[in-house]
A and B are shown apart, each in its own frame.
Chain A
Amino acid sequence: MPLAALLLLPFLGSVLTALLPTRARSELAACAGFVSAGAAVWVISLFPRVRDGGVIRETISWVPSLGLDLVLRLDGFAWMFAVLITVIGALVCLYARYYMSPEDPVARLYAFLLAFMGAMLGVVLSGNLVQLVVFWELTSLVSFLLIGYWHHRVDAQRGARMALTVTGAGGLALLGGVLLLGHIVGSYELDVALASGDRVRAHPLYPAALVLILLGALTKSAQFPFHFWLPRAMAAPTPVSAYLHSATMVKAGVFLLARLWPVLSGTELWFWIVSGAGMTTLLLGAYIAMFQHDLKRVLAYSTISHLGLITLLFGLNSSLAAVAGVFHIMNHATFKASLFMAAGVVDHETGTRDIRRLNGLIRSMPRTGALALVASGAMAGVPLLNGFLSKEMFFAETMFFSAHPSVEVMLPVVATIAAIFAVVYSLRFGYDIFFGPPSTDLPRQPEEAPRWMRTPIELLVLSCLIVGVAPTISIGPSLAAAARPVVGGTLPEYSLAIWHGFNPPFVMSLVAIAGGVLGYLWLRKHQEQGRLQDAPFVGRLNARRLFESALLGLTRLSRRVLRLAGTRRLQTQMFTIIAVALLLALLAARGVPLEWGDRDRLPASPAFVLLWVIGAVCAVGAAVMAKFHRLIAITLMGGAGLVTCLTFMWFSAPDLALTQIVVEIITTILLLLGLRWLPMRIEGISRPVTARDRMRRGRDLLLAIGAGSGLAALSYAMLTRPAPHSISPFFLSRALPEGGGANVVNVMLVDFRAFDTLGEITVLGAVALTVYALLRRFRPPPESIEQPHQQRAFPADVVTDLVKPRTAEDAARGYMMVPAVIARLLLPVSVLVAAHFLLRGHNEPGGGFVAGLVVAIAMLMQYMVSGALWLEARARLRPVRWIAVGLLLGAITGLGALAVGYPFLTTHTAHVRLPLVGEVHLPSATFFDLGVFAVVVGATLLTLTALAHQSLRAHRRPTQSPASSTSEGTS
């Protein structure tokens, strides 16, 4: 598995360097350098196998279910890239050893560099498109860490984040494109995709796939309009820039263009997008580069421009141009890496990168100067250097390109102008800093760089020279091997000769060099007079500003969305959700028109209508008053409940009405007890009502009316239809013969469904105990434990006795005197009523539940008017025992049936004759009902008195005055 090992090697090296101590600079550099050099040797040794169009493939099973395998694939083109990546990587490792200062944590740098190398190798070795995207994103992530290496610098932070955002986003777009491409081709295998170019281009989804993939490629290669991140990324240490921004990261974009060239190119769309972006970038990058004063920024913009050139070449849809593109990739990587390194040396030795301050360095650092001059000559396209050759090929392509006449004219012109600009910025880079009077105000006294720091530059420049002088021997075979897969197997005719005769491309080169020199002199004259410090005309066309304003816009949009959809106000939330529900219901009404059923209706009598009007008024009033006066709201709610009870009565459902009314009462009591612990009213809500408030309220009112009337209409529609599948006939017909009772509901509760009821009362008991336990911990807020103001002082008109002056304590008692008497009088009556309900429950409305609630209410009234202390001094109520007894009774009744051989809880009805009373109808279910009764009494008392007891506990606090502890009224 040579390729898998090759891919793993840098990652292993990365882990290894990360583990080494960060101070061991030389060891780290050696480790990283040997790993990269080893990889380089390994790659180069594979050349014979790919030389003649051979492809090395390795497949590792990855996700078989999806047809995804980890495919490693090395053809000539990938080989060329792998060589660039590993060789330049090794050189950068050596260079970084001397560039980085001892304070920098270099272990991290080398670990990241090697990880990046691995990711980049992964990109070029991928034989599977998804896998390619994976490594692609990995390069973005690692580059984020590399660019932000000097994390204390704000520009590094910004640059790193911008690079990650732009390239990462591009990567996501690429993923979309790749998925689409895979969908069109039917496989994610690169080989399959490369073989089905025609099918892809004819597919209706081709434009979408193309645009998405190009988004990925163009963002990565910093093409217009995504070029702005690259200059920002110059905040990285120079070795990183030399590696990422010459040979690897930014080349990934053009790598992808070349890789997919056989699949995607050849269409109008491809031409317009790719060559359009390339041409704009070529020109714009070169133009801006002329006006930069920072060495690295000059190089950054020139990189953008050269990448634009390569992109343009691939966009021309001609195989010859593609070969030129491949060639320029190699050339650019070599001279740009050496230039970055040279710039780094200058920065390292002088302490500044400002071209305006650097002058005459050739005297203090002659060797570095010479190397930089040769490299910038290659960048400018001077003959006998490698840059010249690929530039000639480019000129030739623009010259002989056949398309629309305007394009035919424009291309060579643009190419020449860009070449002029290139000469200008190359001169500024080379000539400005190395010639002229030596600068005197540099931060550091410049001297020649260390021997081994220059070596990488020397090697690179040497290769520039060799390729430039003897291209056919040196680079010919590699270029042929690299270009063959790109153009789809058959290489076009091309010549790598230095001299092609006095032809138009050569004229263009001459014009470019002459124009460049003139332009440089002109520009320098103006800049010395303080003009043209910044690139004119394109100041507005600042894509970085566009990016930033896009981000700003996004943030604004986010805020707006947050306001709109992320409200923290419950009222708005409720409005939304109810509005949605209403909308859906209206949709339903559109599909199925609402129709009334044809069940017989009762005539509406005026009295009943009046009753309902009262009920409605009470309900609305309760809703209105809920915010302002809770007591009134609760009272009004009670009114609405009462009307409900009366309605049940009206429709001949006495048992329902009975249950409803006691439940209504007990609920009201519960609310009243709870009310005790709420603040009287919320202060500060009575601000003036604005028109906006009225609008909002009106809106809410409309929604409420809509939703309410909709529900009413639905209920009406339902009620006017006969109820389907009712099980009531079953119970109605069997209650008397089988259950021995005429009250069907009660028979169901204590007989047919007695087992359920037993479960329910058990739950009720458990709940009561839980509530009691929870409320024991309840500590009311301090502001609500004061005495109600009615109980604190006398009314003004009460005369006090001089002999025995009354205290506030008396006030409390006196205040509740009349209600207390009434409540105490009512107690025996209530108990009697309860007994009545309980006993007749089997046949008439009533039963254990209702009876239990009645007793509980009667007891609670005593609590409320007399206070817990008074009551508990006189009556020993043990709710827990009530619950226990009730549950036992229920269980024993059930077991009794079991004992005589019937299923659990079977009812037996006995008829007993008692003296004086006469015949008594006594079903065993009555005992069960008695159990229910006891549990209900116990549970209700336990729950509600727990609330009431809070007043005791609160007033017993030592901070309270002793006087107030005796009166325990609530609410």
Chain B
Amino acid sequence: METRTFDNVASLAYFAPELGLIAAVLLLVVWDLASPARLKIAGLVVISLAALAWSGGMGAYFLAKDAGPHELFHGLLAFDRFSNLFRVIFAFVTGAIVLFSVPPRGPGVAPELRRDQGEFFTLILVLSLGMNLMAASRHLLLIYLSLELVSVMSFVLAGFKINDARSSEGALKYVIFGGVASGIMLYGMSWIFGITASMHLGECAARIAALTAQQGKVPEVVFVGTACMLAGFGYKISAAPFHMWTPDVYEGAPTPVTAFLSVGPKAAGFAVLVRFFSDALGAGSASPAVATPWPVLAGCLAMATMTIGNLSALGQENVKRMLAYSSIAHAGYMLLGFSVFSDAGVAAIAFYIVTYCFMNLGAFMVVMAVAEQSGGDETLSAFRGLGRRAPLVAAAMVVFLVSLTGLPPTAGFVGKFYLFSALLTAGGAWRWVLAIVGVVNSVISLFYYARVLRAMYLEKGERTEPVAVRPLLGATTCALAVPTLLLGVYWGPVYDFVASSLSMLR
């Protein structure tokens, strides 16, 4: 089907998933105000899940129908397989988080999320909307706006534990850091706009290609503009040196929010990063005669990110903080695939994102389940003897951690396998260095993940009574562990589906 550009009204049909989310946001506000207290949370969850099912379902429907590619709203938004794939991913992640955020019932627990449920779910849905927009933006301003939408929601969510000093501190740092990073990104955008006289990615691409052909190399201004934009993207995916907000925010925020931030906005950041590079810079299709600085730049980012992430995670006693650092490292692994600038690399990233959703969400979920039962203790000591106190949850945690390490037979192994194989197939000495650093990093990560394993199975905790994990949390955790394991054994269809869904508007 040929690419068509729709005007505002005609676009709405293709914008239906987001419209559904917006409607749900409004509905949530009304429900929060008007509902009876007894039904309140159930209603909130149902509305949120319905909207997400609508959004993800529509994305899947578009994918199945092979709709598009089209340009929506006069070219502001792309409607292609790529954006639809991410619609599905984001809907899934957000749905998991919604389930994750259902507060425990009954007396005795001092839940951080019991208050302001309505606001909480509303913010989460708005964040989901922002992520959808991020993955679809084809216009510099819209990239900025959607990024800010996601950021601002994240700031609020990060500071949601209003009486917790750590939460407030994290949120405040997040705001300031995010503001500066966005500023630098805008600065970079202005450079790109300055040299291409357009904010539409497609037009930028044409102009940059013309300039590149004329000069025989990528103009320096483009390089600098892009590098500055990387500050904004890098902050979103928490790549070094823009990762510094991550540990504080992740540790301080409520655990569901942490899980969300470590998966959703990060995936969205990668989506926008990939789109910007392949769309505006034509990084994937550059002729080999023109030496581009992108592989080296992205490679440096990747190496720094995973090394810093892993080494920092090594000494952490707080499991949540450790996972925060390790999620930095995982961004580094994904950047490895990015540095190849090939379809295989992008497919590897997308597949890794899928696997990462399962394993990282799951790991955080276990942390939350454990912390709930140990009076908010998230350190290693709370995990001691978990293998006997909660066998099923502990077994799920083993699956998640093994997968995060990248060992078979789990999804993480397959994800890493694709990343490394994309890297090595591309060849070249530089890729070699990257691959070796990647492997060394995986080894380091094995070490700190194994500490949790050891605590769970080999050490004895102070308490030995069985842990009563909430059925909802337990069920969701197992539901995440099964695909983590399954994808490690039989991933063919999923990978094919992901890899075939990466065609985007250029």
Residues of A whose CB lies within 8 Å of any CB of B are 61-66, 130, 133-135, 137-138, 140-141, 144-145, 148, 151-152, 156-157, 160-161, 164-165, 168-169, 171-173, 175-176, 179-180, 182-183, 208, 551, 554-555, 557-559, 561-562, 565-568, 570, 572-574, 576-578, 580-581, 584-585, 587-588, 590-592, 724-725
Contact = CB atoms under 8 A, between A and B. Distances in A.
29 contacts: A62-B492, A65-B495, A137-B413, A144-B450, A145-B457, A151-B459, A165-B446, A168-B443, A171-B407, A172-B406, A173-B439, A176-B439, A179-B420, A183-B424, A554-B444, A561-B307, A565-B241, A565-B308, A566-B308, A566-B312, A570-B177, A580-B184, A581-B184, A584-B227, A584-B228, A587-B227, A592-B219, A592-B220, A724-B197
Nearest first, the 9 A-B pairs at minimum CB distance are A591-B220, A588-B224, A134-B408, A558-B314, A151-B458, A63-B492, A561-B311, A169-B443, A157-B458
A151 B227 CA distance: 51
Given A558-B315, A561-B307, A168 B446 contact: yes
A179 B426 CA distance: 12
B277 interface: no
Interface in B141-198: 173, 176-177, 180-181, 184, 187-188, 191, 197
Contacts of B491: 63
Contact of A587 (B223, B244, B405): B223
Nearest to B191: A588
B180 A165 contact: no
Nearest to B314: A558
A176 B420 contact: yes
Contacts of B285: none
B312 A562 contact: yes
B79 interface: no
Most chain A CB inside 10 Å of its own CB: which residue of B181, B231, B457, B499? B457
B315 A555 contact: yes
Most chain A CB inside 10 Å of its own CB: which residue of B223, B244, B491? B244
B435 interface: yes
A566 B11 CA distance: 45
B490 A62 contact: yes
Contacts of B458: 148, 151, 156-157, 160-161
Contacts of B492: 61-66
Interface string B488-504: 00111001100100000
Contacts of A168: 405, 407, 443, 446
Given A65-B499, A551-B447, A580 B424 contact: no
B442 interface: yes
A344 to B, nearest CB: 22
B447 A148 contact: no
A568 B407 contact: no
Contacts of A576: 241, 244
B402 interface: yes
A297 to B, nearest CB: 21
B3 interface: no
A180 B424 contact: yes
Interface of chain B, main secondary structure: helix
B430 interface: no
Contacts of B241: 565, 576-577, 580
A574 B180 contact: yes
A858 to B, nearest CB: 33
Contacts of A140: 407
A789 to B, nearest CB: 28
B161 to A, nearest CB: 15
Nearest to B494: A63
Contact of A148 (B187, B223, B457): B457
B400 to A, nearest CB: 14
A135 B413 CA distance: 12
Contacts of B245: 573
A63 B228 CA distance: 39
Given A130-B417, A151-B457, A562-B315, A138 B450 contact: no
A148 B325 CA distance: 28
B454 A161 contact: yes
A577 B499 CA distance: 35
Contact of A137 (B308, B325, B408, B424): B408
B314 A555 contact: yes
Interface in B321-342: 325
Contacts of A592: 219-221
A168 B405 CA distance: 10
A61 B424 CA distance: 24
A63 B219 contact: no
Interface residues of B, number: 68
B104 interface: no
Contacts of B61: none
A595 to B, nearest CB: 13
Nearest to B221: A592
Contacts of B225: 588
Contacts of A584: 188, 224, 227-228
Most chain B CB inside 10 Å of its own CB: which residue of A151, A165, A171, A183? A151
A169 B453 CA distance: 16
Contact of B221 (A141, A572, A588): A588
Nearest to B446: A168
B415 to A, nearest CB: 13
Contacts of B228: 581, 584-585
B495 A558 contact: no
A591 B191 CA distance: 13
Contacts of A164: 446, 450
Contact of A65 (B248, B325, B496): B496
A551 B315 CA distance: 11
A165 B405 CA distance: 11
Nearest to B183: A581
Contacts of B417: 130, 175, 179
Contacts of A578: 180
Interface string B453-481: 11001111000000000000000000000
A63 B417 CA distance: 13
Given A587-B220, A588-B221, A176 B315 contact: no
Nearest to B185: A581
B409 A134 contact: yes
Interface string B214-241: 0000011101110110010000000011
Contacts of B444: 554
A838 B356 CA distance: 58
B421 interface: yes
Contacts of A555: 314-315
Contact of B409 (A138, A156, A161, A172): A138
Interface string B248-264: 10000000000000000
B177 A566 contact: no
Contact of A559 (B220, B231, B315, B447): B315
B240 A565 contact: yes
Contacts of A145: 457
A287 to B, nearest CB: 30
Contacts of A724: 197
Nearest to B247: A566
A591 B293 CA distance: 14
A125 to B, nearest CB: 15
Contacts of A551: 447
Given A581-B184, A588-B221, A558 B459 contact: no
B82 interface: no
A570 to B, nearest CB: 5
Contacts of A156: 458
B176 A570 contact: yes
A667 B417 CA distance: 55
Contacts of A169: 443, 446
Nearest to B225: A588
B352 interface: no
Contacts of B408: 133-135, 137-138
Given A157-B459, A558-B315, A568-B247, A577 B177 contact: yes
A160 B436 CA distance: 26
B177 A172 contact: no
